[in-house]
Amino acid sequence: MRYNVSQLLKELTGSTRHYDVDEVLASPEAQWGVELVVRGPVEMVRTPRGILVIAELTSQVPEVCSRCVEPLTEPVVVALEEEFFPSVDVWSGAPVHVPDVDGYQIDQRHILDLGEAFRQGVWTALEIQPLCNPGCRGLCLNCGVNLNRETCSCDATPADPRWERLRRRSV
Strands 35-46, 16-26: parallel, antiparallel or unpaired by DSSP? antiparallel
Convert 37-71 to b/e letters by CB count within 10 Å (16 or more is b): ebebebebbbeebbbbbebebebebebebebbebe
Identity at 103, one-letter amino acid code:
G
pLDDT for the residue 8: 95
pLDDT for the residue 92: 84
Sequence spans of domains, the chain = 2-136, 137-171
- Per-10-residue mean pLDDT of the chain, 171 residues long, equals 94 96 75 79 96 96 93 94 90 78 84 91 92 94 90 74 74 55
The Cα-based distances of 116 to 25, 54, 58, 103, 146 in angstroms read 12, 15, 15, 11, 37
Q: Distance between the two ends of the chain, CA-based, in angstroms? A: 61
pLDDT for the residue 82: 94
Q: How many CB atoms lie within 10 A of CB 167?
A: 8
pLDDT for the residue 53: 97
pLDDT for the residue 157: 62
Is the distance from CB of 39 to CB of 57 less than 8 angstroms?
yes
